[in-house]
Amino acid sequence: ERTTVVVVGAGPAGLTVAGLLLRLGIPCTVLERRPRSRVEQRQRAGIVEHRAVRMFEEWGLAERVVGGFPYDGVLEVRVDGESRLLDETGLAERLEARLCPQQVLVQRLIAACLEDGGDLRFEAAEVTLHGVTGEQPVVRYRDADGVAHEIACDLVAGCDGDHGVSRASIPDGVLTAYPFDHGIAWLTVLADAAPPRHPLLAVSRHGFAAHFARGPRASRFYLQVPLGDGPDDWPEDRVRQQLRARLGSDDGPPPGTVTEKEVFRLRSVVHEPMSHGRLHLVGDAAHIISPMGGKGMNLALYEAEVFARAVRDLVRDGDDAGLRSYSAVCLQRAWNYQEFSRWMTEMLHDAGDDTRTGPFRRRLARARLDRLSTSRASAGAFAELMAGLA
Ligand code: FAD
């Protein structure tokens, strides 16, 4: 078998690469380890940023992929229970971000790829990459019946996330990892509870909390918790009581509605460079961004487009400049988003409970936060980053 691009992984990154290549008429095959039903149920991100909505519009995919989701360019920050709205102040363009749960985006991307004649292969086990530094890479895998397959290709898009085979198949010493531990843990709670009016972030002495929509009747809550706590330290009553204290309202999950509860540590990492021969890493395969600021999935969508355009230049014009600069272009945005996420993480945690970083840092963080409401330039810079325009 032969194709132009083998895409490993059918998350937001891989499916967007495939969707855009299909629009260009460039052959590609997507190999995904999990069954379709599993991929379509993984709940994670919830906001498609303005830039990404515009991107889907330019490629004629917006209606099918993000159509019908509510528009929201407003973020609510509640400081000690008092509400502040951060919106597009200072931006000329109207923002078009969409509240679209990641699993729905994935379902729709799969449907769009299949409608456009895409070759998506689920339950592809034991994917291995060969000869990516040569002229003709080969990708091998086993299908659900255990039958071995081999696909020759020009390029491999490694879109298989942080634990995938793509990055792992690059020899030691080629990549440099830049990891960072934020020293913060969050409890995340999914519930069949009414979503907030706007994405809501809360700062108070009790610690950080947040409430996001994950569908018309579903919500995701986040609560900063002491390092070392596990989900069992947080029974539903304690979650509700703490959300009431931190959000200053009764917007917590009603009893019996919690569907998932997990604790995770905020961490970030970037692996450089993002290309190795004819293998190009896209999305979480190359970096993880802490969830604050909602940039992980959006960065994956951005890189998918940079890659698709570079492949177009190669296939149509024999021009490989786009692929040669792929890593540098993507890393610039990756570090920009990392900085935004870290800046926001620090501000919204330091401004609350000061037992972690002390009273001086708390006052600095509050000054930063206040500036977003008192300075048009600060508010504009923030909105630009939220929108993905900077
Ligand atoms: P993934 O979504 O991880 O997809 C990788 C795919 O590759 C998977 O389908 C996997 O099954 C497949 N795969 C793995 N290994 C192999 C293999 N060996 N062979 C074949 N296939 C393989 N981002 C935001 O923008 N906003 C948010 O609010 C946000 N919140 C988040 C909350 C949580 C709890 C988590 C965990 C993440 C959040 N993120 C958020 C990050 C976002 O979910 C990721 O950045 C996004 O999923 C990246 O997409 P991806 O396609 O690169 O990787």
- Per-residue pLDDT tens for 149-208? 999 999 999 999 999 999 999 999 999 999 999 999 999 999 999 999 889 999 999 999
Q: What is the mean pLDDT of residues 348-359?
A: 93
33 lines ligand 1 (CB under 6 A): yes
Kindly list the domain boundaries of the chain, sorted by start residue.
Answer: 5-73+94-177+268-343, 182-267+355-387
10 lines ligand 1 (CB under 6 A): yes
Q: In this structure, which topology does domain 182-267+355-387 adopt according to CATH?
A: D-Amino Acid Oxidase; Chain A, domain 2 (3.30.9)
78 lines ligand 1 (CB under 6 A): no
334 lines ligand 1 (CB under 6 A): no
Tens digit of each residue's pLDDT (9 = 90 or more) over 264-274:
999 999 999 99
292 lines ligand 1 (CB under 6 A): no
β-bridge partners, 190 = 220, 260
Cβ contact 96:117 at 8 Å: no
Among the atoms of ligand 1, which is closest to the Cα of residue 283?
52
Among the atoms of ligand 1, which is closest to the Cα of residue 295?
25
Rounded to two decimals, the pTM is 0.96
Whether the predicted pLDDT of 89 surpasses 70: no
Q: 5-73+94-177+268-343 maps to which CATH number? A: 3.50.50.60
Cα distances (angstroms) measured from residue 268 to each of 252, 286, 288, 377: 28, 11, 5, 28
295 lines ligand 1 (CB under 6 A): yes
Among the atoms of ligand 1, which is closest to the Cα of residue 42?
2
Cβ contact 242:294 at 8 Å: no
